[in-house]
Protein backbone atom coordinates (compact mmCIF):
# COMPACT_ATOMS: atom_id res chain seq x y z
CA UNK A 1 0.00 0.00 0.00
CA UNK A 2 1.46 3.30 -1.07
CA UNK A 3 1.46 6.01 1.54
CA UNK A 4 -1.52 8.33 1.54
CA UNK A 5 -0.48 11.65 0.13
CA UNK A 6 -3.08 14.32 0.91
CA UNK A 7 -4.14 16.94 -1.58
CA UNK A 8 -4.66 20.32 -0.06
CA UNK A 9 -5.89 23.51 -1.61
CA UNK A 10 -4.98 26.86 -0.09
CA UNK A 11 -6.60 30.25 -0.53
CA UNK A 12 -4.00 32.90 0.20
CA UNK A 13 -4.70 36.60 0.31
CA UNK A 14 -2.74 38.67 -2.14
CA UNK A 15 -1.20 41.02 0.40
CA UNK A 16 0.08 38.85 3.21
CA UNK A 17 -0.17 35.11 3.00
CA UNK A 18 0.58 34.80 -0.70
CA UNK A 19 3.68 36.90 -0.08
CA UNK A 20 4.51 34.79 2.97
CA UNK A 21 4.42 31.77 0.68
CA UNK A 22 6.66 33.64 -1.76
CA UNK A 23 9.09 34.30 1.05
CA UNK A 24 9.16 30.62 1.93
CA UNK A 25 10.28 30.11 -1.67
CA UNK A 26 12.81 32.90 -1.74
CA UNK A 27 14.26 31.51 1.49
CA UNK A 28 14.35 28.04 -0.11
CA UNK A 29 12.39 26.54 2.77
CA UNK A 30 11.33 23.03 2.02
CA UNK A 31 7.78 21.97 2.75
CA UNK A 32 5.61 19.08 1.61
CA UNK A 33 4.45 19.19 -2.01
CA UNK A 34 0.83 18.45 -1.14
CA UNK A 35 -0.47 21.98 -1.37
CA UNK A 36 -1.75 24.02 -4.32
CA UNK A 37 -2.11 27.72 -3.71
CA UNK A 38 -4.87 29.86 -5.16
CA UNK A 39 -4.49 33.60 -4.94
CA UNK A 40 -7.45 35.68 -3.78
CA UNK A 41 -7.38 39.39 -3.07
CA UNK A 42 -8.40 39.00 0.57
CA UNK A 43 -9.31 36.17 2.90
CA UNK A 44 -12.68 37.93 3.07
CA UNK A 45 -13.15 37.05 -0.58
CA UNK A 46 -13.33 33.34 0.12
CA UNK A 47 -16.93 32.24 -0.29
CA UNK A 48 -17.76 29.47 2.19
CA UNK A 49 -18.99 27.56 -0.84
CA UNK A 50 -15.44 27.45 -2.24
CA UNK A 51 -14.34 25.50 0.77
CA UNK A 52 -17.29 23.14 0.59
CA UNK A 53 -16.81 22.66 -3.13
CA UNK A 54 -13.18 21.76 -2.68
CA UNK A 55 -14.12 19.22 -0.01
CA UNK A 56 -16.96 17.85 -2.09
CA UNK A 57 -14.59 17.28 -4.97
CA UNK A 58 -12.26 15.38 -2.70
CA UNK A 59 -9.68 17.83 -1.42
CA UNK A 60 -8.31 16.33 1.77
CA UNK A 61 -7.81 19.71 3.36
CA UNK A 62 -8.49 23.40 2.73
CA UNK A 63 -6.30 26.15 4.08
CA UNK A 64 -7.52 29.74 4.19
CA UNK A 65 -4.73 32.16 4.95
CA UNK A 66 -4.88 35.89 5.43
CA UNK A 67 -3.23 38.84 7.09
CA UNK A 68 -3.13 39.01 10.87
CA UNK A 69 -6.14 40.64 12.49
CA UNK A 70 -5.65 44.37 12.27
CA UNK A 71 -3.37 44.08 9.24
CA UNK A 72 -5.85 43.20 6.50
CA UNK A 73 -5.11 45.30 3.43
CA UNK A 74 -8.83 45.97 3.27
CA UNK A 75 -9.19 46.87 6.94
CA UNK A 76 -11.46 44.09 8.16
CA UNK A 77 -11.88 41.42 5.48
CA UNK A 78 -10.06 38.87 7.60
CA UNK A 79 -12.48 39.41 10.48
CA UNK A 80 -15.31 38.52 8.14
CA UNK A 81 -13.34 35.51 6.95
CA UNK A 82 -12.94 34.42 10.53
CA UNK A 83 -16.66 34.72 11.27
CA UNK A 84 -17.52 32.82 8.12
CA UNK A 85 -15.02 30.02 8.62
CA UNK A 86 -16.10 29.59 12.23
CA UNK A 87 -19.72 29.32 11.14
CA UNK A 88 -18.75 26.93 8.38
CA UNK A 89 -16.91 24.68 10.83
CA UNK A 90 -20.07 24.40 12.90
CA UNK A 91 -22.09 23.61 9.80
CA UNK A 92 -19.52 20.99 8.81
CA UNK A 93 -19.91 19.27 12.15
CA UNK A 94 -23.66 19.01 11.70
CA UNK A 95 -23.11 17.67 8.21
CA UNK A 96 -20.81 15.03 9.60
CA UNK A 97 -17.67 16.49 8.02
CA UNK A 98 -14.53 16.69 10.03
CA UNK A 99 -13.84 20.36 10.74
CA UNK A 100 -10.15 19.58 11.08
CA UNK A 101 -9.98 19.47 7.31
CA UNK A 102 -10.40 23.23 7.19
CA UNK A 103 -7.85 25.58 8.64
CA UNK A 104 -7.75 29.34 8.96
CA UNK A 105 -4.34 30.85 9.57
CA UNK A 106 -2.95 34.35 9.75
CA UNK A 107 0.37 34.47 7.91
CA UNK A 108 2.05 37.78 7.26
CA UNK A 109 4.28 38.70 4.35
CA UNK A 110 7.32 38.24 6.57
CA UNK A 111 6.32 34.84 7.90
CA UNK A 112 7.78 32.51 5.31
CA UNK A 113 8.75 30.16 8.12
CA UNK A 114 5.24 30.15 9.46
CA UNK A 115 3.87 29.37 6.02
CA UNK A 116 6.18 26.39 5.65
CA UNK A 117 5.52 25.08 9.13
CA UNK A 118 1.77 25.54 8.75
CA UNK A 119 1.83 23.42 5.61
CA UNK A 120 3.93 20.77 7.33
CA UNK A 121 1.66 20.58 10.32
CA UNK A 122 -1.50 20.57 8.28
CA UNK A 123 -0.24 17.81 6.02
CA UNK A 124 0.67 15.71 9.08
CA UNK A 125 -2.73 16.25 10.60
CA UNK A 126 -4.55 15.36 7.38
CA UNK A 127 -2.42 12.24 7.04
CA UNK A 128 -3.74 11.15 10.39
CA UNK A 129 -7.30 11.87 9.33
CA UNK A 130 -6.86 9.86 6.16
CA UNK A 131 -8.37 10.53 2.75
CA UNK A 132 -11.50 12.60 2.35
CA UNK A 133 -13.92 9.96 1.16
CA UNK A 134 -16.34 12.55 -0.22
CA UNK A 135 -14.22 12.66 -3.32
CA UNK A 136 -14.93 9.03 -4.12
CA UNK A 137 -17.95 8.47 -6.20
Pairing of strands 8-13, 61-66: parallel
How far out from the chain centre does Cα 91 lie?
Answer: 17
Torsion angle defined by CA atoms of residues 132, 128, 78 and 24, in that order, rounded to the nearest 10 degrees: -110
Query: What is the three-class DSSP state of 122?
Result: helix
Neighbours of 95 (CB within 10 A): 10
Site for other proteins in 50-109 (CB under 8 A): 50, 53-54, 57-59, 73-77, 80-81, 84
Report if residue 77 touches ligand FES, rule: CB under 6 A: yes
Report if residue 16 touches ligand FES, rule: CB under 6 A: yes
98 binds, among other proteins, ligand FES, none (CB under 5 to 8 A by kind): none
Residues that bind other proteins (CB under 8 A): 1-2, 4-5, 7, 9, 18-19, 21-26, 28-31, 33, 36-42, 44-50, 53-54, 57-59, 73-77, 80-81, 84, 116, 131, 135-136
Amino acid sequence: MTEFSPRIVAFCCNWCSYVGADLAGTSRLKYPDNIRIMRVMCSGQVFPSYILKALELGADGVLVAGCHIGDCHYVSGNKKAQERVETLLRVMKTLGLDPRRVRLEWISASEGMKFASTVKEFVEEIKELGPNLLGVR
